[in-house]
Structure 1
């Protein structure tokens, strides 16, 4: 899979060898210029559905599971590689100084009808909800959050970059 972008925070801890790698998938589901996204009330942003790949799970199985859990999507098909986004960020939990985040992105199709999502407790606390959104409006919204919000999440730069690449390459 092709590398879309590699980033690291400007104040990255010097002990990058004391890191752990987290692999995740991100789903790109388009319907014209509308895209299936997650809105997160806590950060007031839009992100691609997806999340961590479980131990022993391959990327495609993780993609399908996360898409079903977060959006209620059914019959995920026509899965195509889009690219991956690599990040190095400081980690503020025990045992590691740095997280190496790999987000594998795939375009796919789903049935129009969405079932109820099965959010994890932290996702419910953050006020996550799936919705169809015009991709251009989502980009503009996220750019305003990046520019003006003190409570923005760590993933918004990645997500906004990915949305722009989707517009450039898939629309």
Structure 2
């Protein structure tokens, strides 16, 4: 069974399954994260939806590049979780199936190309309390042991 974080699904709502790939990108005791400023301000693990016909690793590389401008290497799957949320940017209720990978940030290619995203470095301890969702915080906090 895949662990759920956050709110339980609401009765009467139809949820669209949205698989995604997210990266824990560590360099020493620092993590590369993204700050999304719209539709709400939130620190997040870089990542996002897996497009139709795309695998999780390819999606991770693409999403990290779009949201941080960084190239990554050596992604390794570490776990999954689910969240039931309203996604205002798509105007849908979604069951987000979040696949989390650990990967190495290699070098910065450019500024982020995803609108309303900026790249930031923070300590693992900071990230385990500042990331915007409980699932992200859970996986990062497991590094801090």
So what's the TM-score if we normalise by structure 2?
Answer: 0.81
Query: What is the aligned partner in structure 2 of residue 15 from structure 1?
Result: 12
The 3 A distance-change label for structure 1 pair 36 and 91 is: closer
Q: Distance in 1 between matches of 2:5 and 2:28?
A: 30
CA deviations 1:9-41 (Å, max 9, x no partner) are 25x42236x321001110111011100011234
In the TM superposition, 1:69-108 aligns within 5 A as 69-74=66-71, 76-89=72-85, 98-108=93-103
Which structure features the higher share of strand residues?
2
Query: What is the aligned partner in structure 1 of residue 24 from structure 2?
Result: 28
Q: Distance in 1 between matches of 2:108 and 2:94?
A: 36
Unaligned runs of 5+ in 2: none
Query: What is the aligned partner in structure 1 of residue 137 from structure 2?
Result: 160
Unaligned runs of 5+ in 1: 143-154
Q: Distance in 1 between matches of 2:136 and 2:27?
A: 18
Which structure features the higher share of helix residues?
1
CA contact (8 A) 1:80 1:108 kept: yes
Query: What is the aligned partner in structure 1 of residue 50 from structure 2?
Result: 53
Between structure 1 and structure 2, the one with the greater Rg is 1
CA contact (8 A) 1:13 1:90 kept: no
The 3 A distance-change label for structure 1 pair 68 and 19 is: same
- State the secondary structure of the residue aligned to 1:166: coil
Equivalent pairs, count:
143
Query: What is the aligned partner in structure 2 of residue 146 from structure 1?
Result: none
Moved over 6 A (4+): 91-94
So what's the TM-score if we normalise by structure 1?
Answer: 0.70
The 3 A distance-change label for structure 1 pair 46 and 166 is: farther
